[in-house]
Amino acid sequence: MGWNGLERNKLDYILTDLLPVEISELFSFSQLYTFLLKKENQKILDALIQEIKQNKAQSSSRMFENGWSTKPLKYKILKGTDTMREMSVIQPFSALNLFLFIECYQKEILNYFEKHHDYSIRYHKKSTDLYYKAKSGRVTQYFQDQSFRAGRGAIQQAGNYFKIGPFESINSFADSRVWRMCNFKYKYYAKLDYKACFDSIYTHAFTWIIERNVVDAKDAVNSHLLVTIDRILQNINGRSSNGIVVGPEFSRMMAEVLLQHIDNVISVSLSKENIIYNVDYVAFRYVDDIFLFANQPQVIEQILSKYKMIGERYLLRLNELKLTKGSTPCLPKEWLEKTRQLSDIIGDFFYQGRKSDYDKLPEDDQFIVKTEFISVDRIKDEIAVLVKEHSEDRRTIVSFLLSTLLNNISKKKNGYTLFGKQRLGKALLLIDMALYVYAFYPSFDQARKIISIIAYMNSEIDFKGDDKAHTKLSRTINRYSFIFCSGNVFDLCDWFPFFYEYNIVLDTKTENHLIKAAEECNDPIVWANLLLYSQYYRPFFDELSKKVENIVEKQILRISDKEPMMQVEFWYVLIFHNCPYISATLRQKMSDIINDIKIKAGGGKGKKLFPSAVTTQLICDFLEQRSPSGNKPEESLFNWKGIKNFADQITYRTYQRTVFKRYRKNTYGLYASLD
């Protein structure tokens, strides 16, 4: 069957676009997705969609009104040199309403992008790429009725429901023919960005767009797209109009609406001054990063001035500290060239020939980690010198080097064997080097690369079953225990289920430090991960579960009857309401809170429910699901069972984020970037 006109299952949006990539692997909307796929719930959702579309057609209707406002879970991850970025996890009540919003407004949003994307090199389009890459490596075609069979693990790898292009990363743009041609065609360049863009976006700015357009303003009814965006962004963020939630792809999509408007205003203004796009200048914007090329320095200055003036009109300010400009060509930075040289040295540890040549080698020589002596200490010294010289760029340096290791080791999935006879020694040398690099920048995404590297090796080494291999792996990791004492605890979340799976035990001092860090951040997801890790030793587990139970009880006692979903303590209900390691009495208290929300949403017998009330009741039913025996299932939002072969799942997520990506031949000309 051809793929023109085919559509993905609309509910996939809940899996792909509503959670940050940097979230604990054990937290997901996967079970919510399964719940909503039930036939009886599909009927409810279809009826809701029809009702909302009818209301939308009535100019007097207030779309996505209050009544489901929720407080997101805020947490911080390492992002930047020495800075932290605040991320947000939205509540399932918000997730369901965002799904309905996208379902009812996506045509308008996508049409808007199609008309106003002149500067944008990362905007959303309707996806017709109905292919995903299975764990086996096989490319599988996807159909609407195949959601059950496709596998949630596959679907949620993509991170985006819509096609995003023409470039999927800044790196792909900087490595493209477009970039190189601009460096030849134009004499001057500048790079700028907005300071704390998402945190600075004022939700009412979307309605200001209408006010500045007299024609649209006359039609600015309550159901107008921009009015609805303003309302819905507040509702998912605790009714705050200052800033939008950071993390979900949904937020980038909404920001794109405002940023494209600013681009358009600037483009029109320049045209009126006879500064012609594609002649006098070109501009490329990737989210809030803006690249300018021009033949006259004064044109660069004029564009910068307009971005400053028009951005400030919408409360967005340029980051003066990160502004760079000069004459072309825009050359790679010194750190990049040195990092590439080190990366090449690391790449030389591995067989780099073609697979066909590899297959012709004698069987005893068919492995990709070379037998030659690896001078790890020398390389460590060179890495240390590089990081010290370019400390401001250590985030990218660490990412570059660990990606080099992972990309070579991941050839395992293509039918290569990693090691020859000295497999354990070689494996430990490479793991030690990876941990050494990781220590310079222990971020969330780099942790996943290390876990993936170990998982690939495990298929040949058997770190779990071989006592000698296990002991040496444990010693190697504990040698770097200082990372777990100094690192940000949320960035370390995925390590804890990994340690539990591989039976890696940290020393008591490190464990105590982690518990203290968990107390300071007061995050239920962190506590849940630590609790699962503690199961390796019963007295430690009993002690920690008692501590966690006391914390959960204190948190839920702070929840008032009025709008519990608007209180951050409610997150302890969402995470622990079905936790098998706390008392049934405490679980019942949380169940009572959920049931009370459902009753209040009902509004009384015989009363017609608003769509927001229906969605609230639906989520409460999801949270309160019980098995046929009457006991709650162990999975809801947090996977209390843990994931069998957790490290393998992380590996798949880290390397195979390729669901619904392009597998056809390139048809995008100059704008193609396949990195």
DSSP state of 366: -
**What CA–CA distances, in Å, run from 451 to 459, 472, 492?**
13, 16, 11
Q: Look at 68-72, 370-374, 466-470, 631-635 and tell me which has the smallest mean pLDDT.
A: 631-635
Q: What is the pTM of this model?
A: 0.89
Per the model's pLDDT, the better-predicted residue between 496 and 373 turns out to be 496
**What CA–CA distances, in Å, run from 13 to 147, 236, 238, 249, 638?**
12, 16, 22, 10, 19
Residue 219 corresponds to which amino acid? Answer: D
Report d(CA 155, CA 144) in Å as an integer: 12
Instruction: Tell me what pLDDT residue 168 has.
Output: 82
130 contacts 6 by C-beta, under 8 angstroms: yes
Report d(CA 71, CA 570) in Å as an integer: 8
Average pLDDT, stretch 272-288? 96
Instruction: Tell me what pLDDT residue 213 has.
Output: 58
From the CB of residue 54, how many other CB atoms can be counted at a distance below 10 Å? Answer: 10
Average pLDDT, stretch 508-527? 97
Is residue 308's pLDDT more than 90? yes
Q: What percent of the chain has pLDDT over 90?
A: 69
Q: How confident is the model at residue 244 (pLDDT cuts 50, 70, 90)?
A: very high
Q: Look at 71-75, 334-338, 450-454 and tell me which has the smallest mean pLDDT.
A: 334-338
- The alpha carbon dihedral of 301, 303, 308, 310 has a sign of positive
Is residue 218's pLDDT more than 90? no
Q: How confident is the model at residue 474 (pLDDT cuts 50, 70, 90)?
A: very high
Q: How confident is the model at residue 371 (pLDDT cuts 50, 70, 90)?
A: confident
Report d(CA 335, CA 394) in Å as an integer: 9
61 contacts 223 by C-beta, under 8 angstroms: yes
Average pLDDT, stretch 54-60? 80
524-551 pLDDT tens trace: 999 999 999 999 999 999 999 999 999 9
From the CB of residue 649, how many other CB atoms can be counted at a distance below 10 Å? Answer: 19
Q: How confident is the model at residue 656 (pLDDT cuts 50, 70, 90)?
A: very low
Residues 6+ apart with CB under 8 A from 631: none
Instruction: Tell me what pLDDT residue 674 has.
Output: 22
Instruction: Tell me what pLDDT residue 107 has.
Output: 94
Average pLDDT, stretch 500-512? 96
623 contacts 577 by C-beta, under 8 angstroms: yes
From the CB of residue 605, how many other CB atoms can be counted at a distance below 10 Å? Answer: 5
Is residue 35's pLDDT more than 60? yes
Is residue 212's pLDDT more than 70? no
Q: Token pair for residue 233?
A: 């962004």
Q: Look at 148-162, 225-239, 602-616 and tell me which has the smallest mean pLDDT.
A: 148-162
Backbone angles phi, psi at 135, to 5 degrees: -60, -30
395-441 pLDDT tens trace: 999 999 999 999 999 998 888 999 988 889 999 999 999 999 999 99
Residues 6+ apart with CB under 8 A from 525: 23, 24, 26, 27, 73, 75, 89, 490, 493, 575, 638
- The conformational region for residue 604 under phi > 0 = left, psi -120 to 50 = alpha, else beta, is left
List alpha helices for 410-523, DSSP H: 423-439, 444-461, 467-479, 482-486, 495-502, 508-521
**Mean of all residue pLDDT scores within the chain:** 87
Instruction: Tell me what pLDDT residue 7 has.
Output: 55
Polymer length in residues for the chain: 675
Q: Token pair for residue 367?
A: 């492995």
Instruction: Tell me what pLDDT residue 211 has.
Output: 76
Q: What is the CA radius of gyration of the chain?
A: 26
Instruction: Tell me what pLDDT residue 284 has.
Output: 97
110 contacts 162 by C-beta, under 8 angstroms: yes
Chain centroid to CA 340: how far? Answer: 27
Q: How confident is the model at residue 207 (pLDDT cuts 50, 70, 90)?
A: very high
DSSP state of 489: G
Per the model's pLDDT, the better-predicted residue between 306 and 648 turns out to be 306
Q: How confident is the model at residue 472 (pLDDT cuts 50, 70, 90)?
A: very high
331-359 pLDDT tens trace: 777 888 899 999 999 999 999 988 889 88
Place of tokens 């996939």: 12
Residues 6+ apart with CB under 8 A from 338: 386, 389, 390
Residue 401 corresponds to which amino acid? Answer: L
Is residue 664's pLDDT more than 70? no
Instruction: Tell me what pLDDT residue 1 has.
Output: 37
Q: How confident is the model at residue 204 (pLDDT cuts 50, 70, 90)?
A: very high
Per the model's pLDDT, the better-predicted residue between 2 and 519 turns out to be 519
Average pLDDT, stretch 642-650? 80
Of 342, 454, 473, nearest to 398 by C-alpha is 342
